Structure 1
Amino acid sequence: MRPHTLAALICQGLYEQVRALASAAGRPGAETSLVTGYGAMAETAVVSDLWDVSRDRLALDTFLGRHGYHGPAEGELAAHPWRVDRAPLHALLKAYRDMPEDRDPRVVEAQRTRERLCTEADVLAAVSPVKRPSARLTLRLAARFFPLRGVGKGAFLQCADVVRFVARAHGDHLAAEGVLADPCVIGTRTGTAALRTGDRVRVDGGRGEVLVLQRRRA
């Protein structure tokens, strides 16, 4: 998480520099075009593969092998990713099938890239020759670091999915031994502060509730 956090902090500072650059060039608001359209980003790969599945150019199982750790509330350990619950994915695919061909993510990304390059040229032409080298450096750094945000997020989500999978596998093992009736992963929220090792609890996976039956004796 440290590299991802560092990249996020750097991007925040870079965004402010890009915004100041756009304003100085007389193009306020152009920063939104200057920090996008970088081509092969992590998010673009997901939506592009999703588009291909909706057009029957990519098998659903192949898609899940690549991106099955995504899903609703994907950062929550208690959430069900697409690999576990395909219903939200099928709903998303239906929406993609109804879209016209010009909404292809690769087409949209190519348009954003052209828009960014044109905006960069306009901004560089508008700043004074003295400030132009520093402006170019700011734009190069933005192109270097902004795509890393998606890489860090993807790595975090994959780690969370491993934890989720291990917890479910252990829950199945405990259920087989009769320790648990309904193995599940629930959102603990303040559980680590409210519960102590040795407390006896009852978990309702359907409701996402934990009932303390008996506190451990000190």
Structure 2
Amino acid sequence: MSSRQNVETTLDNATIDPNLTWTTGNVAEAFPGVFSTLGFTFLNEPVELAFRTMFLRLGVFTSNQVYVPERAEDMFWTLFAGRAAANIDKFREVANITPGTSATAIEQQLFGYVRQETVDENSVRRYPIILAKAPRAVARLPKQHDAEFAEVRLWRLAQLDGIDELDYAQCLAVLADARARFQSIMIKHLVVAFVSSGLTDRLADTLAALDLSHLGPGLLSGVGSEENDVAHDLWALAHDRITLHEFTDRHGYHGSDEGQLSGVSWREDPTPVLNRLDDYRSITADSPRAPHNRSLVQTRARQRALAELESALPRHRRLAAVLITRLACRWLALREQGKAGYLLTFDVARGAIRRLNSLLIADGVIDRADDIFHLSYDEVRAGVTGSRHAQVDHRRARYYERRACRLPRSWTGLPTLIEVGASRAPESTGVVTGVAASSGVVEGRARVVRDPSTTELDEGDIIVCETTDPSWVSLFLLAAGVVTDHGGMLSHGPIVARELGVPCVCGTDNGSYRISDGQRIRLNGDLGTVTILE
């Protein structure tokens, strides 16, 4: 058994090259929490192939490099104790042969920090091929991305209609289709992530040279994102301008733990949405807190920041500055669209899986509602027969054990697991530092959030969490500010915070464990600091 196959069986890497460095940054935001057996085996190969196909399309890789490695060390991602981690060394290799970026830039933009020992070793050997392939691929991608996203939205609704009546073979066909579509949109999503990182890095360099780095969050605000649409429709639902059915048709693929196939979507259980409606009903149409007014404010903030940038440049350099800003904003919006795209495929896969679960219960193979998530994709695809109760019970027990631990932000070799309960060591005073991701200064009560579906916020509360996903938008509308452990300027939380005008500090590493629920804090989204006041 190869080490990759061993990971798919155990959901862990008991042995790994001691010289490789790993991170939970970025990848933990896409797939937060602990993987079930079915969740990981369904996604492992498509994600790895998506990374490699993306680099092939940009000319970075050759066709011989598009394969699924047998060694976990050679993959762009893997699992440790059931949780996702990215291979920093693989991304550094790619950055070192790609024009317009570097290992330093990749670490900062994708993972929110740069290691002290990072040394750029750029090589031009692939530049001719990249320059021949990448511009054409990048130029075509936005329209292709928009078209595929629109098609997947329609496909989701068509597939979910009548999914509860499918037989076993039909469910497998839907699953295979969802998996192929996931890989297709993930390829485009990764191109967007890579290109937007380079564009944002160029913009940051321009601003730093002019001593205008403070304009960065403003220039990247008001770009228009899928989560903005969720916010608008949440408000519209609360004010009876759309129905719940219309809302779940548009956004029902979001929900608790949506980055995991085992999560429950709003389509399946809209309770978390319904529980927020009273809060949104108190926001009138003319309130500054209303989503449409927030969007207008952020668009104007971007225009003011752009005007300040132009005024600081000689006339002959202004056009280039405007162009790079517009491109960065366009590709940031595509980042959120891509994430929504693969979540759409998750919702269809989830529907087919839950139907298969009911069929297996009827056959006596399993006996609980979510038991199927503790079988592998290959096992389900081959046709599961006989009792699997003991196997499922063992895997479920390991799954819940792993939920009690988390991974560090980065490590070399094997990670030291951090026990969630024991790791809390709140401070009475002090300053937590991170990335200045969305401008503004606010003071308020810290609300340390582990599960957004069960959290109640009062006006003026500041969300403090490990990471966010699109289902958190319902909280963002109510929060005075956001602090996250993971991520950088291009992570989901900061993008949505800038869209809604919510001050944000991200990439604090362990802020949600240093800050105690209920403490009064001051968040400075301009400096990237969180001060514990009491």
Tell whether the structures are fold-level matches, with TM greater than 0.5: yes
Q: Distance in 2 between matches of 1:78 and 1:185?
A: 10
Q: Is the 8 A contact 1:54 1:96 kept in 2?
A: yes
Shift of the alpha carbon at 1:201?
4.4
| 2:225 equivalent to 1:76 | no
Letter of the structure 2 residue corresponding to residue 44 of structure 1: N
Q: How does 1:1-12 map to 2 (within 5 A)?
A: 1-12=186-197
Look up the match of 1:209. 397
Find out whether 1:30 has 2:233 as its counterpart. Answer: no
Deviations 1:43-101 (A, max 9, x none): 11111001101112111121011111101221111111111122222223233234453
2:273 alignment partner in structure 1: 89
Distance in 2 between the 1:24 and 1:55 partners? 47
Q: Secondary structure at 2:360's aligned position in 1?
A: helix
Which residue in the other structure is 1:53 paired with?
Answer: 237
Normalised TM-score (structure 2)? 0.35
1:157 to 2:337 alignment: no
Structure with the larger strand share: 2
- When residues 184 and 107 of structure 1 are mapped into structure 2, their CA distance, relative to the original with a 3 A threshold, is same
Deviations 1:147-205 (A, max 9, x none): 101110111101111111111011111222333222316765xx76xx9x88944335x
Q: Displacement, 1:210?
A: 6.7
1:170 and 2:360 aligned: no
Query: 1:14-62, CA deviations, whole angstroms, 9 ceiling, x for partnerless residues?
Result: 22222222233332221111112124x2111111001101112111121
How far apart, CA to CA, are the structure 1 residues paired with 2:388 and 2:255? 32
Percent of residue pairs identical: 33
CA offset at residue 139 of structure 1? 1.3
The one-letter code of the counterpart of 2:272 is P
Specify the SS of the correspondent of 2:307.
helix
Q: Which of 312, 320, 327 is equivalent to 1:141?
A: 327
Does the CA-based 8 Å contact 1:76-1:187 persist in structure 2?
A: no
Q: CA deviation at 1:123?
A: 0.1
> Within 2, Cα distance between the matches of 1:146 and 1:187?
33
The answer to whether the Cα contact below 8 Å between 1:46 and 1:67 also exists between their aligned partners in 2 is yes
Q: CA separation of 1:184/1:99 partners in 2, compared to 1, >3 Å: closer, same or farther?
A: same
CA distance in 1, matches of 2:276, 2:207: 36
Q: Which residue of 2 aligns with 1:131?
A: 317
Moved more, 21-30 or 43-52: 21-30
Residue 182 (1) aligns with residue 377 (2): no
Q: What whole-Å deviation, never above 9, does each CA across 1:97-130 have from its counterpart, x for those lacking one?
A: 3445321111101110011011101101102234
- Equivalent residue, structure 2, for 1:110: 296
Change (3 A) 1:61 1:160: same
Query: For residue 408 of structure 2, what is the aligned residue in structure 1?
Result: none
Give the number of equivalent residue pairs. 204
- Per the TM alignment, residue 134 of structure 1 is displaced from its structure 2 partner at its CA by 2.2
Q: Structure 1 residues 23 and 131, CA, compared in 2 at 3 Å: closer, same or farther? A: same
Gaps of 5+ in 2: 1-185, 400-534
Q: Which shifted more, 84-93 or 101-110? A: 84-93
TM-score normalised by the chain length of structure 1: 0.82
The structure with the greater share of residues assigned to helix is 1
Find the aligned partners of 1:186 and 1:173 in 2 and give their Cα distance.
Answer: 10
In the other structure, the counterpart of 2:110 is none
AA partner of residue 106 (structure 1): H
Choose from 196, 202, 216 the match for 1:17: 202
Maintained 8 Å contact 1:78/1:186: no
